[in-house]
Amino acid sequence: MANLRELYQEVILDHNRKPRNFGVLEDATCHAHGYNPLCGDDYTIYARVEDGVVTALSFEGEGCAVSKAAASMMTQRLRGKTVEEARRYVEEFRELMLEELDEAGEEHLGHLMVFRGVSQLPNRIKCAVLPWHTLRAALEGDEQVSTEGHKDEWNDQEGDGDE
């Protein structure tokens, strides 16, 4: 992955220019709104879940190139995955940002590893993670998330007991 940095820039620019799955998903079964006040990233993530499978995803909103590319790639990658699998991706992406991801996780994330470079840019991490956390909130039935809320699961270790 010697050219990861180049690839990263290329991918981010491409998805920023042509975001995939951009717009309201009319028959979504859940959605959540996520906001990152440090950067101004502001997105709504929509998902349609049928029989435990995420059959469609979309997003809309405004934000920086990193957040938009993350949302765009996430909606592409998770389509057709089970809710359980989607949660695994969310967790792995978070671990990638915290530089805690193991090799199996790296392989599983595959192309999403282009975001590795973001983990070196502390003020960009929340941009990249925002869509993922917002999706997780949607799947759990929460409709609002902020990177700076009193319910600050961004800076603590989440308490999921997965460690």
Chain contacts with Zn ion (rule: CB under 5 A): 39, 41, 64, 67, 127
Question: Minimum distance from CB of 65 to Zn ion (Å)?
Answer: 8
* Nearest to Zn ion of 54, 135 (CB atom): 135
Could you tell me if 84 and 52 are in contact, meaning their C-beta atoms sit under 8 angstroms apart? yes
* Nearest to Zn ion of 113, 127 (CB atom): 127
What is the β-pairing status of strands 144-146 and 53-62? unpaired
Could you tell me if 45 and 135 are in contact, meaning their C-beta atoms sit under 8 angstroms apart? yes
Question: Minimum distance from CB of 82 to Zn ion (Å)?
Answer: 29
CA angle 132, 138, 144 (to 5 degrees): 90
Question: Minimum distance from CB of 3 to Zn ion (Å)?
Answer: 24
* Nearest to Zn ion of 41, 92 (CB atom): 41
Distances (CA, A) of 35 to 31, 106, 150, 158: 14, 27, 13, 18
Residues contacting 142, CB < 8 A, separation 6+: 32
Question: Minimum distance from CB of 32 to Zn ion (Å)?
Answer: 17
* Nearest to Zn ion of 56, 64 (CB atom): 64
